[in-house]
Amino acid sequence: MNLEQFFPMQLKSRLCLTIWGKYTDYWKSSNNKSMIIETENKGIALITAMMIVAIVGLVTTNLLWESALNTRKTSSTLNRDQAVQIAIGVEKWVTNLLKQDSLSSDSDHLNEFWARELPSLPIDGGFISGQIHDLQGRFNLNNLVNKDGSINQDQVDYFQRFLTALNINPTIANSVIDWIDDDQYTTYPNGAEDDFYTRMNPPYRTANREMITISELLSVRSIDQEIFNQIKPYISAIPEITKINVNTASHVILKSLGDEITINDIERLENERVPSGFIDVATSFESLIDNEYIYNISGNSNYFQLELLVNIDNISIIMYSTIHRGSGGNTSILSRSFGTI
pLDDT digits (tens, 9 = 90+) for 233-262: 999 999 999 999 999 999 999 999 999 999
- Is pLDDT above 60 for 232? yes
Q: What CATH number does the domain containing 198 carry?
A: 1.10.40.60
Q: Per-residue pLDDT tens for 75-111?
A: 888 999 999 999 999 999 999 999 999 999 989 999 9
Using alpha carbons only, what angle is made at residue 10 by residues 6 and 11, rounded to the nearest 5 degrees?
50
What pLDDT was estimated at residue 55? 86
What pLDDT was estimated at residue 146? 96
- Is pLDDT above 60 for 60? yes
Query: Alpha-carbon distance 176 to 156, whole Å?
Result: 10
Q: Per-residue pLDDT tens for 258-301?
A: 999 999 999 999 999 999 999 999 999 999 998 888 999 999 99
Give the list of residues 6+ apart from residue 100 with CB closer than 8 angstroms, or none. Answer: 329
Residue 54 lies in a domain: no
Instruction: For residue 319, name the pLDDT band (cuts at 50, 70, 90).
Output: very high
What pLDDT was estimated at residue 10? 53
Q: What is the largest CA-CA distance in the chain?
A: 161
Pair 214, 223: CB distance under 8 Å: no
Residue 39 lies in a domain: no
- Is pLDDT above 80 for 15? no
The number of folded domains in the chain is: 1
Average pLDDT, the chain: 88
Average pLDDT over residues 321-337: 95
Domain span at 174: 92-338
| Lowest pLDDT segment from 41-50, 184-193, 294-303 | 41-50
Query: Alpha-carbon distance 248 to 333, whole Å?
Result: 21
Residue 138 lies in a domain: yes
What pLDDT was estimated at residue 65? 84
Give the list of residues 6+ apart from residue 104 with CB closer than 8 angstroms, or none. Answer: none
What pLDDT was estimated at residue 6? 45
Q: Which of 250, 245, 248 is nearest to 162 (CA)?
A: 250
Q: Per-residue pLDDT tens for 188-221?
A: 999 999 999 999 999 999 999 999 999 999 999 9
Average pLDDT over residues 126-149: 96
What pLDDT was estimated at residue 136? 98
Residue 273 lies in a domain: yes
- Is pLDDT above 50 for 3? no
Average pLDDT over residues 167-196: 96
- Is pLDDT above 90 for 13? no
Give the list of residues 6+ apart from residue 182 with CB closer than 8 angstroms, or none. Answer: 149, 208, 209
What pLDDT was estimated at residue 290? 87
What pLDDT was estimated at residue 7? 45
Query: Alpha-carbon distance 84 to 132, whole Å?
Result: 18
Query: Alpha-carbon distance 15 to 2, whole Å?
Result: 17
Instruction: For residue 36, name the pLDDT band (cuts at 50, 70, 90).
Output: low
Helix (H, G, I), strand (E, B) or coil at 277: coil
Query: Alpha-carbon distance 339 to 179, whole Å?
Result: 24
Query: Alpha-carbon distance 269 to 244, whole Å?
Result: 14
Residue 33 lies in a domain: no
Residue 319 lies in a domain: yes
Pair 298, 246: CB distance under 8 Å: yes
- Is pLDDT above 80 for 18? no
